[in-house]
Amino acid sequence: MIEAFGLSKHYGAKTAVYNLSFQVRPGIVTGFLGPNGSGKSTTMRMILGLDEPSSGTVTIGGTSFRRHPNAARQVGALLDAKALHGGRSARNHLLCLAQLSGIPKRRVDEVLDIVGLRSVAGKRSKGFSLGMGQRLGIAAALLGDPRVLLFDEPVNGLDPEGIRWVRQLMKRLAAEGRTVFVSSHLMSEMALTAEHLIVIGRGQLLADQSVKEFIAANSADFARVRTPDTEPQLREKLTAALAEAGGRVDPEADGALRISGLPLPRISDVAHAADIRLWELSPHQASLEEAYMRMTQGAVDYASTAVPGGQPAGPGQPPHGTPPHGMPPHGTAPYAMPQGAPFGAPAAPGGGFVPQPPQPPQTGFGPPPQGPPAAAPAPVQQPTSDPEDAR
């Protein structure tokens, strides 16, 4: 279990994380979502003792990471898969991490098998693709068979097979009773992987709820209705009848009507009573992506002002290049909360964690809608020759 209480982090005048409190429970995958620059990596670094909180606390199993007697065997993490020594082979990279953590050598081959890199284990990692680097970072995180795992954007650069593999791996790790905390910008993937969500915006907690609750609380389900194209007057008639019944009716570009505020059977009854034939009556359920966009639209720092065709961005979207906001005064909450509201230590190249001394701080049809990279690299020796080039 990871527990954060009133966690804040200031970098000079910049507040990266503000008064965050949440729990990440074992046995399920918990997704960590937020727009770019919202403080996800900073939070993960504080969990891992790589950044000192300005205030508040964060513990793993009741103890802060730096005070864990054997943090290396309890927590594994992938923070920045690119942060590895490219001159080393994958196997040597993992061997170094294992050695620093007192992990038996045989575990290296085990994790190489788990991530599917056994056949290229002798190759220098600088020749690895982005996806292979991600796999190596995941291998490093798994090296100590930790009970708590943190993954920052683990599917970055992975192909569809790789993404599927990561999804299954995360679920399996959680099913084994581990705590799995994973950040991603890929909403469709998160919807399939995570059971619970922590969502932040501009460093503050926006949501802490199950994926189902999150979608229900932040979506506007509606129905699509189509009358026969051959009889345009029926569309007008239906629009009037549904509006009179209390629905909100919005025309869609393809001639259909979008109805919110009325359940499907009621729409059907209204149409029937008005003697209007329907060619379509279908429910639309929001996706996690739609719910996420809806919730975070006011908490986005960087958004494009132009869309293809030269249209300006819609309301609520700051212009491109809008400088990062300042934070609100202490005690204010600019964003509405939704309802209900081992082996590892400081990160090593490739996202693995090896035990090291503590690091110093581093820099249903409801109503209409209302409206620094992985740090503390393991000691690295620059090779004088390139024996692994030949492999």
Ligand X SMILES: Nc1ncnc2c1ncn2[C@@H]1O[C@H](COP(=O)(O)OP(=O)(O)OP(=O)(O)O)[C@@H](O)[C@H]1O
Q: Does 40 engage in binding with ligand X (CB under 6 A)?
A: yes
List Cα–Cα distances, 280 to 223, 263, 276, in angstroms.
10, 15, 12
List Cα–Cα distances, 339 to 94, 206, 228, 334, in angstroms.
45, 10, 40, 16
Residue 388 contacts residue 122 (beta carbons within 8 Å): yes
Q: Does 11 engage in binding with ligand X (CB under 6 A)?
A: yes
Region binding ligand X by CB under 6 A among candidate stretches 37-45, 95-103, 155-163, 328-336: 37-45
Rounded to 5 degrees, φ, ψ at 154 are -70, -20
Region binding ligand X by CB under 6 A among candidate stretches 10-18, 54-62, 112-120, 291-299: 10-18
Residue 352 contacts residue 83 (beta carbons within 8 Å): no
Region binding ligand X by CB under 6 A among candidate stretches 33-41, 71-79, 127-135, 219-227: 33-41
Q: In the bound complex, what is the minimum distance in angstroms from residue 301's beta carbon to ligand X?
A: 7
Q: In the bound complex, what is the minimum distance in angstroms from residue 214's beta carbon to ligand X?
A: 18
> Which of 87, 361 has the CB closer to ligand X?
361
Residue 202 contacts residue 326 (beta carbons within 8 Å): no
Q: In the bound complex, what is the minimum distance in angstroms from residue 37's beta carbon to ligand X?
A: 4
Binding track over 290-329 against ligand X, x by CB under 6 A: ----------------------------------x-----
Looking at 2, 4, 7, 16, which residue binds ligand X (CB under 6 A)? 16
Q: Does 361 engage in binding with ligand X (CB under 6 A)?
A: no
Length of the chain (residues)? 391
- Taking the C-alpha atoms of residue 373 and residue 82, their distance in angstroms, rounded to an integer, is 9
Q: Does 134 engage in binding with ligand X (CB under 6 A)?
A: no
Looking at 34, 49, 162, 338, which residue binds ligand X (CB under 6 A)? 34
List Cα–Cα distances, 130 to 78, 146, 157, 373, in angstroms.
14, 24, 5, 16
Residue 157 contacts residue 129 (beta carbons within 8 Å): yes
Binding residues for ligand X, total number by CB under 6 A: 14
Least Cα distance to 33 among 238, 201, 257, 253 occurs for 201
Looking at 31, 39, 76, 146, which residue binds ligand X (CB under 6 A)? 39
Region binding ligand X by CB under 6 A among candidate stretches 8-16, 85-93, 269-277, 289-297: 8-16
> Which of 183, 239 has the CB closer to ligand X?
183
Q: What share of the chain is helix, strand, coil (3-state, %, to 5)?
A: 30, 20, 45
Least Cα distance to 368 among 248, 224, 251 occurs for 248
Contact footprint for ligand X (CB under 6 A): 11, 14, 16, 34, 36-42, 324, 363, 372
